[in-house]
């Protein structure tokens, strides 16, 4: 068997794995990135979830996540304002090309696509590498100083016999407010959150006759009846609309979430493959049901995903693999709980995690998503974690500690995907693509710093990692989330360092204590003409805009929303009456994303 040596080995090609490999290589480490498929990006690309949630506010668009959004804005034809579930809707291949180009630009990074992990190499309590199997069956033994598990289901944890968790944690264990007190028929039925095999439909236009979407074996239409009740067909379809009148199907209500015997995902490879095939068939059945109900102007989208020989996905309209919402979860130095992520009473942000030894914040990544769990047919009651901001609902922010990336007792390993050390309940918050991207950047930076210092991850000073993330020359990453602290503010790094050093000073409001008049929109006013109309304020946090100027939407009313804290402040202070706005109209969401006011 061929043997090679590298500083850092990243196993998996998902969102966190890609961010980790890029960051470690940019820092100067030699990196091998071994992905199971032909695309990088995981949830953001090959799993087809190309309308991502979370970290959408401008202040939270930092690090590689923010770098990715800026690249999408430049490279996605037709822009990103198409669906109503996200502000960023794009073609999967565009996202995959961005990651591929970034990886190709790093001379110290080798990407090995279509490469599976066959075994994990250990010496006592230290991981020292892995045996990889390439598409042609050739085996390669890779020795590495640091190995990162960036797989979708925590495969390195299993193969390396690294202590980990799977499934539910009960309320008596950690007193999490949303955790069930004991097992039940429902928790037995749903050991983890349901995955989804994403598929895309396409609107071929009035009068068009799209090819028939064949139903799978054992098709049962009653499973999907009522899928768009309360929404209507148009709102249902435009939920995840992308450019070219194509629609992402990642629908939780009597849709294509799949949850039959999910323990198979962590049993034998054959069991996992069987579960995946059933999830794929379930999505095919959902697509057939929609076509049978709404007509053959709708058919499977074409040419969105490549066909991979030997893979279960046929490509085309079907993602390359399922969107797994939950993984094996590391038993780490620290375990993040639901209570660590909820806003303080009367506030809008969670306290920053703290290093018990130094008293400093131990945060190395940020997120702001609401708690979101998927169990078909069961709405699990969850502690509230959302607020009105900028004319819409958003999740409240939190920081994640370095210790959730580091095993309790195993050296040579870091995790960088949904496999971090969190409870089952907390996973519903931390699993989202932007947060995982931030975690991957932190893990990759930590790995590179361990190489520089010749130390183990558990011995790496967190302050050193935080400083490196804040000073990343390409993609500086926030580690203290503040609604009003955007990356372009000249005091951005000062406040980041201040709250990291003095976490008790971090405000429950989630805002820095600046005078209101100092919060300014410093982006230039666009050259195009504004939309004119009337602002209406049915309540203090809702902004309606009736268009009066010459426009094909004249007389119609849209919500005004914003991601910019300066604009959010201006909307709060603006009385009802005439107004001129610049921004992007989203017809699916019936909102106008405001970038400037006059």
3-state SS assignment for residue 455:
coil
Q: Please give the pLDDT value at position 1.
A: 78
Does 48 share its domain with 155? yes
Same domain, yes or no: 20 and 155:
yes
The size of the chain, in residues, is 598
What pLDDT was estimated at residue 553? 86
- How confident is the model over 117-151, as pLDDT tens digits? 999 999 999 999 999 998 888 999 999 999 999 99
Quote the pLDDT of residue 137.
87
pTM of this structure: 0.96
| Residue 528 pLDDT > 80 | no
* Same domain for 269 and 127: no
Integer Cα distance of 365 and 470 in angstroms:
11
Q: What is the pLDDT of residue 524?
A: 61
Strand 413-415 to strand 139-149: parallel, antiparallel, or no bridges (unpaired)? parallel
Residue 590 φ/ψ region, left for φ over 0, alpha for ψ in the -120 to 50 degree band, beta for the rest: left
What number of CA atoms fall less than 13 Å from residue 335's CA on the CB side?
17
Are both 481 and 332 inside the same structural domain?
yes
| pLDDT mean across residues, the chain | 95
Mean pLDDT across 405-423:
98
Largest CA distance in the chain: 74
- Those residues whose C-beta lies under 8 Å from the C-beta of residue 292, and which sit 6 or more positions away, are 221
Whether residue 223 is found in the same domain as residue 159: no
Structural domain for 549, as ranges:
531-597
Q: Quick check: is 385 in a domain?
A: no
Residue at which a domain ends, from 465, 490, 505: 505
Q: Are residues 407 and 456 in the same domain?
A: yes
Q: How many domains does the chain have?
A: 3
- Structural domain contains residue 409: yes
Residue pointed to by tokens 């498929």:
37
Burial class (CB in 10 A: 0-12, 13-18, 19+), 315: middle
Is 524 inside any structural domain?
Answer: no
* Whether residue 58 is found in the same domain as residue 6: yes
Looking at the domain assignment, is residue 50 inside a domain? yes
Which whole number is the average pLDDT over 507-526?
71
204, pLDDT greater than 80 = yes
| CATH number where 427 lies | 3.50.50.60
Residue 251 maps to a domain: yes
- Let me know if residue 314 belongs to a domain: no
pLDDT at 515 > cutoff 70 = no
146 and 278 fall within a common domain: no
> Residues 9-28: pLDDT tens digits?
999 999 999 999 999 999 99
Secondary structure letter of residue 396 according to DSSP? P
How far the first Cα of the chain sits from its last, in Å, is: 68
Q: Cite the DSSP H helix spans in 240-389.
A: 269-294, 338-341
Partners of 127 in beta bridges = 122
Residue 258 pLDDT > 80: yes
What is the mean pLDDT of the segment spanning 258-274?
97
Interatomic CA distance for residues 308 and 286, integer angstroms: 23
Q: Please, which residues have CB within 8 angstroms of residue 433's CB and are 6 or more apart in sequence?
A: 15, 43, 44, 49, 52, 53, 54
577, β-bridge pairs: 535
Tell me: pLDDT of 514 over 70.
yes
Asked if 333 and 427 sit in the same domain, the reply is: yes
Q: Distance between CA 262 and CA 272 in Å, rounded?
A: 9
Domain boundary among 470, 489, 505: 505
Residue 173 in domain: no
Same domain, 11 and 123: yes
Residue 296 — left, alpha, or beta (φ > 0 → left; ψ -120 to 50 → alpha)? Answer: alpha
Q: Which of 204, 19, 29, 225 is nearest to 109 (CA)?
A: 29
Task: Tell me, yes or no, whether 403 lies in a domain.
Answer: yes
Please report, rounded to a whole number, the percentage of residues in the chain having pLDDT higher than 70: 98
So what's the pLDDT on residue 311? 85
Are residues 211 and 272 part of one domain? yes
Of 283, 300, 317, which marks where a domain is finished?
A: 300
**Same domain for 62 and 151:** yes
Q: What are phi and psi of 517, to 5 degrees?
A: -70, -15
- Residue 529, pLDDT score: 83
272 pLDDT higher than 60: yes
pLDDT single digits (tens) 46-99 = 999 999 999 999 999 999 999 999 999 999 999 999 999 999 999 999 999 999
């Amino acid at each position: 068997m061929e043997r090679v040596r590298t500083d850092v080995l990243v196993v998996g090609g998902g969102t966190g794995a890609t961010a980790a490999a890029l960051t470690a290589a940019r820092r100067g480490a030699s990196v091998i990135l071994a992905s199971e498929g032909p695309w990088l990006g995981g949830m953001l690309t090959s799993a087809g979830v190309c309308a991502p949630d979370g970290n959408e506010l401008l202040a939270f668009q930092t690090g590689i996540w923010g770098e990715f959004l800026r690249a999408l804005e430049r490279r996605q034809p037709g822009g990103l304002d198409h669906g109503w579930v996200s502000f960023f809707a794009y073609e999967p291949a565009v996202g995959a090309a961005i990651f591929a180009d970034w990886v190709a630009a790093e001379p110290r990074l080798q990407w090995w696509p279509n490469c599976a992990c066959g075994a994990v190499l250990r010496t006592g309590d230290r991981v020292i590498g892995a045996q990889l199997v390439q598409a042609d069956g050739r085996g390669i033994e890779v020795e590495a100083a640091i190995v990162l598990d960036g797989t979708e289901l925590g495969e390195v944890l299993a193969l390396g016999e690294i202590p980990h968790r799977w499934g539910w944690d009960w309320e008596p264990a950690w007193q999490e407010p949303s955790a069930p007190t004991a097992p039940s028929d429902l928790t037995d039925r749903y050991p983890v959150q349901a995955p989804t095999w994403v598929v895309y439909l396409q609107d071929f236009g009035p009068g068009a006759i799209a090819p028939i979407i064949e139903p799978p074996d054992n098709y049962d239409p009653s499973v999907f009846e009522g899928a768009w009740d309360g929404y209507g067909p148009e709102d249902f379809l435009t939920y995840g609309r992308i450019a070219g009148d194509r629609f992402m199907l990642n629908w939780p209500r009597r849709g294509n979430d799949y949850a039959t015997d999910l323990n198979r995902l962590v049993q034998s490879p054959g069991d996992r493959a069987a579960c995946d095939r059933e999830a794929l068939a379930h999505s095919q059945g959902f697509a057939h049901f929609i076509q049978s109900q709404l007509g053959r102007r709708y058919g499977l989208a074409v040419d969105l995903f490549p066909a991979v020989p030997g893979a279960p996905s046929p490509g085309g309209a079907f993602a390359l693999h399922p969107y797994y919402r939950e993984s094996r979860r590391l038993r780490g130095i620290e375990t993040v709980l639901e209570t660590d992520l909820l806003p303080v009473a009367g506030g809008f942000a969670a306290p920053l995690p703290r290093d018990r030894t130094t008293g400093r914040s131990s945060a190395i990544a940020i997120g702001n998503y609401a708690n979101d769990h998927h169990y078909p047919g069961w709405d699990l009651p969850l502690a509230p974690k959302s607020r009105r901001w900028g004319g819409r609902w958003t999740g409240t922010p939190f920081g994640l500690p370095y210790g959730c990336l580091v095993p309790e007792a195993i050296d040579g390993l870091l995790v960088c995907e949904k496999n971090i050390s969190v409870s089952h309940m907390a996973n519903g918050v931390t699993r989202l693509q932007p947060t995982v991207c931030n975690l991957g950047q932190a893990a990759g930076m930590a790995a590179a710093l361990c190489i520089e210092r010749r130390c183990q991850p558990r011995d790496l000073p967190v302050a050193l990692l935080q400083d490196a993330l804040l000073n990343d020359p390409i993609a500086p990453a926030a580690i203290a989330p503040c609604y009003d602290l955007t990356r372009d503010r000249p005091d951005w790094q000062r406040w980041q360092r201040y709250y990291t050093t003095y976490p008790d000073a971090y405000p429950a409001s989630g805002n820095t204590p600046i005078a209101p008049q100092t919060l300014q929109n410093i982006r230039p006013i666009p050259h195009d003409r504004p939309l004119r109309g009337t602002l209406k304020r049915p309540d203090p946090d809702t902004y309606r805009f009736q268009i009066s100027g010459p426009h094909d939407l004249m007389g119609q009313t849209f919500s005004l929303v914003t991601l910019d804290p300066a604009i959010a402040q201006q909307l709060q202070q603006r009385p009802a009456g005439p107004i001129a706005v610049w921004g992007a109209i989203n017809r699916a969401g019936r909102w106008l994303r405001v970038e400037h006011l006059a």
